[in-house]
Structure 1
Amino acid sequence: MENMSALAEKAMASGFNLDLVVHDGLVQAKFMVDKIKRAKTFAIREDDIFLCTYPKSGTHWTWEILNMIVAGKAEYTKHWLNSAYLESRTKEELEKLESPRIIHTHLLPSQMPDAIWTNGCKVIYVHRHPKDCLVSFFSQLSKQIWEDNPLQKTAFSGSWADYLDLFLDGYTLAPCGSYFTYRLQMSTISDTYKGFEVCTVRYEDMKADCAREIKRMAEYLGRPLPEQIYRDISEACSFKNLKNACETMKDQTYHYKWQDGSSGYFRKGECGDWKNFFTVAQSERFDKMYEEKMQSPLL
């Protein structure tokens, strides 16, 4: 705990403009602690569908796809995905959602309600190349200011090198903590929860052939659709089309708004942008830690 407390202090000293505390052995933004505690006791319905992602892994993209699969057509949802954000919405707000609810979360499996696993809810887990996650998260936190931010500062004002150091130390302003901890817990769910079946999807596979991955998710959910619908959903949820829909067509009630000049949630939606940020030495350092933590090379 002392080490984690020191990391919270280091993070604030290195450029995080937030009050940071330690909760459940993880460095957290203070304002998130009560929300994380509340999420653990959330009342589950047997037909709930959970989208689990580490931040910046294609959450908006996949959530919209899942809603279209359930609807059986390529029609955008009324609200932004934050309307169904487990650790952000109140119990009352989530209770109002119609079944089957498609709820997204960045929490660790151990932080989520136990009933998800005992009730056999459907869980889709999307993971992305960790270097791209890191770059995307850094870009968002270091360039954007919430409209109602009393400090009028970005969430992170340190350097790229500072952020990389904190990320490798295990702190990234993600409620689930370390990328490595998250990836390990998600990849061993079937062992931890006695054969629980998760639909695991790679962001890069979605970029390569989205219609194919949409079909795979639909079949996992027991909701197969005509091949043309898969193609229609893929087109509707392309980066350009979904960004436009979210910014110009959707109800903005649950949109966390940034000040003018910020790019919002949708930045590039590309694979491999990490190469524009990492030096060779930084990349090799990251690869080494990944292999140590995950017991396998980063491909």
Structure 2
Amino acid sequence: MATPAERAMASGWSIDLVMIDGAVEAALLLDKMKTMRSRHVRDDDIYICTFPKSGTHWVWEIVHMIVAGKPTYAKHWQNISWLDCRTEQEIDALPSPRIIHTQRRPGQLPRDVWQKKSKVIYVNRNPKDAAVSTFSQASKQVWKDNPAGKHTFTGSWDEFVTLYQDGCAPFGSILEHDRQWKNVTDIDVCRVQFEELKKDSVSIVKRIAEYLERPLSEEMYREIAEACGFENLKHANEKLKDQTYHNNWQQGSSGYFRKGQSGEWKNWFTVAQSERFDRLYEETFNEKFPY
């Protein structure tokens, strides 16, 4: 019987996929995962944990500005501090306080995150919108390490959404990822909802700053929220930042920044696809789909 990783590769994912800790992952992460649990953690580290396409760039930049105390964009793409893809030496070379982001599940993070009670921000998003955003990126994305030059996902939306719902896509099931993070009680996690950040970004910026014990003025919260608005942040990432860690894209693709909207899933999901996602959510969390 085929594994979820094998099923994914047979149905449109063009990158090498393997099973790691029971979830589908890109094979290029294998070496990084071997040392993940034992990696060094500093006392002032800040970890931003998300499932892909849930607001990672957005919150990473907000945190960077809070730490800097001003609405100045980080020099590099956030991928410079992507725990999953950077070597241990690259992560260790980052200056303190390190603002590290990851798509790891709780049990995969470095052990000392829990021992040191590190600052951890978890960002989640309506999984249907995350699915649309993932498909839109993966179907136009060409990774630097893909020698065949194929798009990351070559199948149709219908094929994609079935795989995504079944956890047969890189990083595994978004529902299982969210479930595990919801169950974390060992440390105080700052939980950020993508949709709430869209609705009232100033309040969420303030809440994150207070969680990090780095309070700023009300005016500064407004300036950071504005600087990290979708169009401003997209311009900064595409035009102002060092592009060393940027992925290659199909010509004309919007790359990481496409629309940044909530509710677009309604234009993509069929009634049957939506109802199945609702059932899976209810089975996972024992509650109605909330979005």
TM (norm. structure 1) is 0.94
CA distance in 1, matches of 2:280, 2:151: 28
Quote the residue 1:133 is aligned against.
130
Matching residue's letter, 1:73: K
| Partner residue of 1:198 out of 176, 189, 206 | 189
Q: CA deviation at 1:148?
A: 5.4
Worse-superposed segment, 97-106 or 9-18: 9-18
> Does the alignment pair 1:207 with 2:204?
no
| Partner residue of 2:237 out of 246, 250, 254 | 246
CA-to-aligned-CA distance 1:108-156 (integer Å, 9 cap, x gap): 0111111101101100011000100111001111122235531121111
The question of whether the paired residues in 1 share the 8 Å contact of 2:44 and 2:98 is answered with: yes
The question of whether the paired residues in 2 share the 8 Å contact of 1:38 and 1:87 is answered with: no
In structure 1, runs of 5+ residues without a counterpart are none
Worse-superposed segment, 27-36 or 102-111: 27-36
| Partner residue of 1:269 out of 247, 257, 260 | 260
- 1:274 is paired with a residue whose SS is helix
CA distance in 1, matches of 2:109, 2:5: 23
Quote the residue 2:48 is aligned against.
51
Quote the residue 1:122 is aligned against.
119
> Does the alignment pair 1:181 with 2:176?
yes
Q: CA deviation at 1:169?
A: 1.4
CA distance in 1, matches of 2:5, 2:206: 42
Worse-superposed segment, 162-171 or 79-88: 162-171
> Does the alignment pair 1:15 with 2:6?
no
Root mean square deviation of aligned Cα: 1.2
> Does the alignment pair 1:110 with 2:107?
yes
The question of whether the paired residues in 2 share the 8 Å contact of 1:80 and 1:251 is answered with: yes
Quote the residue 2:221 is aligned against.
230
- 2:8 is paired with a residue whose SS is helix
Worse-superposed segment, 220-229 or 288-297: 288-297
| Partner residue of 1:98 out of 91, 95, 99 | 95
In structure 2, runs of 5+ residues without a counterpart are none
Q: CA deviation at 1:30?
A: 1.6
Q: CA deviation at 1:39?
A: 2.1
- 2:3 is paired with a residue whose SS is helix
Matching residue's letter, 1:264: G
CA distance in 2, matches of 1:103, 1:19: 25
The question of whether the paired residues in 2 share the 8 Å contact of 1:146 and 1:259 is answered with: no
Q: CA deviation at 1:90?
A: 1.2
TM (norm. structure 2) is 0.96
Aligned residue pairs: how many? 290
| Partner residue of 2:3 out of 6, 25, 36 | 6
The question of whether the paired residues in 2 share the 8 Å contact of 1:147 and 1:259 is answered with: no
CA-to-aligned-CA distance 1:51-73 (integer Å, 9 cap, x gap): 00010000000000000000111
